[in-house]
């Protein structure tokens, strides 16, 4: 088995070749066999982060990597070396040859933590005598280097790699003192608030969840923590806007997500690796952002913002082969349909919003849905670069809504019902010759602008580009539905309405009737 190394992989080498991956995996030629007579011992401390990255990169979960990536005592290398040598001598015999060579350019000192006795009592919920706290610290081999009233300056043993903050020390104190020695208080202090807007948002969330589930979607719930690597090359979600964890469990979970996209793609990759290829997912979750420009004295949280989002993913087949229907691939148009249904279910009219086409690092082609002053969401085809980054080998369609902004829109609109008209509707078609850069959205808005009272619906049922058309042109076949709620429209009225729509399309979009 061959593995391709990178410049970030630590190797232990002799004067001719590499012998093993440091802290992760031993080499074939450097191992011990029954014929081995000479053994060279090395005791080393490796950076946990680098060992973890190398082990994950090669998919190697060894005893060595398991230990080093979780941290070991850097000041224990000589003791461990001597102990290993003595064990070898006791078990297999032999003699020592040579002196210990210690290469330690910069000694790692004991971490220093300041501990407030008042904070100890506050977090634990009981006043523990100072002498008891000091006794527990001594039993944990934590040295008290200085005392200033109720503040203790502590030197943490270097082998306690998990203790870096005062709350870590307090946790150890509580563990030794005993949870059973903490009495349950007679009072419960709470602060309750009632927010109708929050309740309304929650009700709407359940409403959309029921709708999407009924349409065949599965709800997913991903960790808000993700890897920094997803954002290192992005400009739409730059790494500078990531919210970093102070003490991450691993480099795979070291930042807060800025988008729901990557979590869903990981779910898709997981399912497709298990032959589950036709997928429809949705997720509600928070996204987090850091903005240094918002910094304000006395307001440490002003730099951080949190948004609630809704994500929708589609991939694979929309309809599988059966006797009733042919095989049909999922497309971005299916996604757009589901997205519009979400808006309709919230009491919003998709036709009243602006749609802008764009592409970036996340999308090969996409639409941005927005009002005059706020973005509601995006939908489109996920870029091949992002798919490769998450090991997804199929086309994926993704929509992401800013749920907070959607709720602001719903509060501006109320859903009203009216009686179905007793009078018949009339349908008329136009075959329009248009420039290729004209969108159907423009045709639709121009028509509604020209006739506000009687025009009920505008739909596109055919698009043609090719032979018998002038260069740079395309043909749209558009259907118009007209209806008067109070009486039946006559031919003269219908012709006048259609003429008004035709004139408006010609003047504003340069359209021609075919």
pLDDT digits (tens, 9 = 90+) for 189-209: 676 666 555 678 888 999 999
Task: Say yes or no to pLDDT of 11 above 70.
Answer: yes
The structural domains of the chain, ordered by start, are 11-92 (3.50.40.10), 112-181 (3.30.56.10), 196-412 (3.30.930.10), 426-513 (3.30.70.380)
pLDDT digits (tens, 9 = 90+) for 211-230: 999 999 999 999 999 999 99
pLDDT at 93: 86
Determine the Cα–Cα distance for residues 358 and 130; give it in Å rounded to an integer. 64
Please provide the DSSP assignment of 244-312 as one string: E-SS-SSGGG-EE-S-SHHHHHHHHHHHHTTT---EEEEEEEEEEEE-GGG-BTTBTTTTEEEEEEEEE
Determine the Cα–Cα distance for residues 22 and 503; give it in Å rounded to an integer. 76
Neighbours of 56 (CB within 10 A): 16
Q: Mean pLDDT, to the nearest integer, of 138-144? A: 93
pLDDT at 284: 97
pLDDT at 379: 96
Dump strand ranges (E) for 84-209.
Answer: 112-116, 143-148, 151-155
pLDDT digits (tens, 9 = 90+) for 321-359: 777 888 889 999 999 999 999 999 998 988 788 888 899
State the residue for tokens 């008067």.
484
More confident site: 413 or 257: 257
pLDDT digits (tens, 9 = 90+) for 401-412: 999 999 998 887
pLDDT digits (tens, 9 = 90+) for 292-329: 888 888 888 889 999 999 999 999 998 877 778 888 89
């Amino acid at each position: 088995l061959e593995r391709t190394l990178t410049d970030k992989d630590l190797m232990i080498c002799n004067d001719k070749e590499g012998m093993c991956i440091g802290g992760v995996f031993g080499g074939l030629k450097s191992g011990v066999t029954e014929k081995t007579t000479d053994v060279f011992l090395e005791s080393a401390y490796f950076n946990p982060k680098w060992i973890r990255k190398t082990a994950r990169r090669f998919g190697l979960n060894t005893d060595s990597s398991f230990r080093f990536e979780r941290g070991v005592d850097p000041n224990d290398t000589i003791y461990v070396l001597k102990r290993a040598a003595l064990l070898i001598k006791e078990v297999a015999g032999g003699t020592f040859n040579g002196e210990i060579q210690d290469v330690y350019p910069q000694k790692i000192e004991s971490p220093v933590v300041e501990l407030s006795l008042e904070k100890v009592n506050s977090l634990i919920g009981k006043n523990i005598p100072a002498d008891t706290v000091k006794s527990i610290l001594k039993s944990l081999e934590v040295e008290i280097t200085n005392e200033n009233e109720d503040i203790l300056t502590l030197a943490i043993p270097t082998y306690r790699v998990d203790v870096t903050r005062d709350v870590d020390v307090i946790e150890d104190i509580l563990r030794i003192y005993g949870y059973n020695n903490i009495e349950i208080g007679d009072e419960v202090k709470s602060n309750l608030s009632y927010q109708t807007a929050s309740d309304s948002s929650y009700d709407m969330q359940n409403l959309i969840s029921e709708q999407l589930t009924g349409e065949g979607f599965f709800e997913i719930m991903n960790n808000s923590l993700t890897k920094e690597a997803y954002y290192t090359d992005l400009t739409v979600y730059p790494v500078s806007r990531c919210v970093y964890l102070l003490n991450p469990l691993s480099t795979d979970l070291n930042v807060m997500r800025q988008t729901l996209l990557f979590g869903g793609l990981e779910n898709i990759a997981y399912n497709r690796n298990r032959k589950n290829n036709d997928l429809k997912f949705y997720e509600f979750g928070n996204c987090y952002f850091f903005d240094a420009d918002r910094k304000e004295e006395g307001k440490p949280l002003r730099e951080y913002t949190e948004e609630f989002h809704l994500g929708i993913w589609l991939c694979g087949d929309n309809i599988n082969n059966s006797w009733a229907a042919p095989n049909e691939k999922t497309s971005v148009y299916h996604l757009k349909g589901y997205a519009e249904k979400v808006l309709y279910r919230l009491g919003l009219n998709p036709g009243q919003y602006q749609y802008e086409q764009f592409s970036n690092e996340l999308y090969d082609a996409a639409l941005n849905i927005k009002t005059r002053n706020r973005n509601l969401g995006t939908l489109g085809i996920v870029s091949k670069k992002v798919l490769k980054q998450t090991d997804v080998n199929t086309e994926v369609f993704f929509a992401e809504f800013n749920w907070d902004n959607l709720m602001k829109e719903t509060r501006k609109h109320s859903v009203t019902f009216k009686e179905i008209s007793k009078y018949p509707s009339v349908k008329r078609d136009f075959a329009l010759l248009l420039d290729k850069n004209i969108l159907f959205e423009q045709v639709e808005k121009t028509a509604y602008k020209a006739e506000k009272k009687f025009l009920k619906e505008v739909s596109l049922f055919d698009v043609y580009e090719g032979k018998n058309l002038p260069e740079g042109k395309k043909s749209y076949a558009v259907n118009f539905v007209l209806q008067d709620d109070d009486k039946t429209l006559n031919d003269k009225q219908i012709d006048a309405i259609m003429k008004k729509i035709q004139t408006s399309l010609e003047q504003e979009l340069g359209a021609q009737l075919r």
